[in-house]
């Protein structure tokens, strides 16, 4: 039904376009520029796709890598705990068993893994935006690495010690750094 409706709409739109207008539109579209030489990913490709310098991609990849380390750590603690504490795999019992039988320190690993899929998503977007804008200032790179360092420290603290006030301070610090990076991206884009 939807296909037929789309065909009718496309047909009506096509009929409304005159052939003359269509030919004018086609003549104004320029063919894509194809590079004449072979591209290397580190030099020519960056300028070809508009990336400029790519130093801000390093902390992005580092934090993504740390997220996978955290995932491995989470499963390395959770799977043995599931068997040790005999968590049921029945659909109506698994969630309750997981929360009542497994120790809190095992849950912290999963909580932290989930944290790495929350605020860092904004970091990824901002860092990629800065990269696309060609931003390569030393302070911007230091701030990006600082954000990654604070998030790694936050993860270690969350998993191993979990003093909530210290975690809050780390989270607040990373938020301030991320706000600074966001402001830098906004100033590059809008000013």
Residues 107-156 have pLDDT tens digits of 999 999 999 999 999 999 999 999 999 998 999 999 999 999 999 999 99
Q: What pTM did the predictor assign?
A: 0.72
* Domain presence at residue 8: no
Structural domain includes residue 6: no
Q: How far is CA 27 from the centre of its chain?
A: 39
Domain holding 76, by residue range, is 53-190
Give pLDDT, residue 47.
53
Total domains in the fold of the chain:
1
CA 169 – CA 149 distance, rounded (Å): 14
User: Tokens standing for 132?
Assistant: 């696309």
Is residue 66 one of the residues assigned to a domain? yes
In-domain check, residue 32: no
- Say which DSSP state 36 is in: S
Tens-place pLDDT, residues 78-114:
999 999 999 998 888 888 988 899 999 999 999 999 9
Closest CA to 99 of 112, 85, 117: 85
CATH number where 72 lies: 1.20.120.550
Report the alpha-carbon distance of residue 181 to residue 184 in Å, rounded: 5
């Amino acid at each position: 039904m939807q296909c037929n409706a789309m065909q009718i709409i496309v047909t009506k739109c096509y009929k409304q376009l005159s052939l003359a207008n269509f030919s004018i539109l086609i003549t104004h579209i320029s063919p894509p520029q194809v590079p004449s030489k072979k591209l290397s990913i580190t030099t020519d490709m960056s300028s070809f796709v508009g990336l400029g310098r790519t130093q801000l991609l390093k902390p992005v990849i580092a934090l993504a890598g740390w997220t996978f380390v955290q995932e491995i750590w989470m499963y390395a603690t959770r799977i043995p705990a599931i068997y040790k504490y005999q968590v049921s795999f029945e659909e109506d019992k698994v969630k309750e068993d997981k929360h009542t039988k497994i120790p809190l320190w095992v849950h912290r690993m999963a909580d932290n893994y989930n944290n790495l899929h929350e605020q860092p998503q904004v970091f990824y977007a901002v860092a990629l935006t800065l990269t696309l804008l060609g931003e390569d200032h030393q302070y911007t790179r230091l701030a990006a690495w600082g954000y990654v360092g604070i998030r790694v420290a936050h993860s270690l603290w969350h998993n191993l010690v979990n003093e909530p006030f210290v975690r809050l301070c780390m989270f607040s610090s990373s938020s301030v750094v991320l706000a600074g990076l966001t402001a830098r991206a906004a100033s590059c884009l809008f000013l």
